[in-house]
Homo-oligomer: A and B are copies of this chain.
């Protein structure tokens, strides 16, 4: 492990709208202090720090979010920030980030981490990542972490695996992946859960840079021209060339573009208290709650109020006779949402987009 060249690539370019009105176009989820005392991006950087020194860290995001990330992490070297020529989902971004590593050292192990996930058990996370790094280094495999499903979620992708063929590396069992499954309908999700051999796709991946290049050539040859052009553009140092090269790659996720086509994928149990913090109601399971189930950031006075989630720092919120509400006060906008309807928060943003005078609230 000590001799391994390990690189972390943090996907910092998400643009979710589910945390409106706190999350805005110019301040997406990874910049919010919702799951801990620091912005999620900063927590992600600190979490992997024991395994990856700053000079081996890459944050990839678009220009706007890179500016914000640099403000948040002023001591990271400038080279840590890799600007996507344009937002094209995770496929092109990870081809670019991996190509940069590959040019330096094809044997380096790349650890890909979303910037906006919560990991409650940091020590266990490091144990699993160390094992994942070993697995990626020793095997010519893509390594992933799957989350044991607790309910038949239809909002996550699933990973099916062969639970009879596990192999222990670094104290962690890695199973051969049978296939990636797109977000399923409910009945299918229930089947996955009942099967006992499907996990949620956490979006965390590890690979040796050279293995990535080989698997791309073998299983997704349609990506070869883009890969070659990106490598050439990086060698030339020309932003214009890089932009053209980047556009050759289809705008799709790495899962869809490469992972689900490839043989030699391993998955281990991501049993380190993972949450993707997908919407406001997820925070009800993360923030401390009072005896009546209310979880509050700010001051609150609850009279006959239960199971409310309040974000209103610096102000007093009085809750009277209400149940199961999400209340978010953020500058010029206030959200009052039934807890069972928080998937509709993104619809609010869509509705705001349709009215010009509301543009300032997005």
Contacts and interface: CB of A to CB of B under 8 A. Distances in A.
Nearest to A320: B337
Given A329-B329, A334-B318, A304 B344 contact: yes
B334 A320 contact: no
Nearest to A355: B301
B337 A318 contact: yes
B301 A315 contact: no
Interface stretch (A135-143, A194-202, A208-216, A346-354): A346-354
A325 interface: yes
A337 B321 contact: yes
A320 B301 contact: no
A21 interface: yes
Given A304-B341, A321-B340, A340-B321, A334 B347 contact: no
A332 B329 CA distance: 11
A322 interface: yes
Given A303-B348, A344-B303, A361 B316 contact: yes
A314 B334 CA distance: 11
A312 interface: yes
A317 interface: yes
A339 to B, nearest CB: 9
Question: Which of A338, A351, A352 has most B Cβ within 10 Å?
Answer: A338
24 contacts: A20-B318, A299-B358, A303-B351, A304-B341, A308-B336, A316-B332, A317-B333, A317-B335, A318-B333, A318-B337, A318-B348, A319-B337, A320-B337, A320-B338, A320-B341, A320-B347, A321-B337, A321-B338, A321-B344, A322-B337, A329-B329, A329-B334, A334-B334, A336-B336
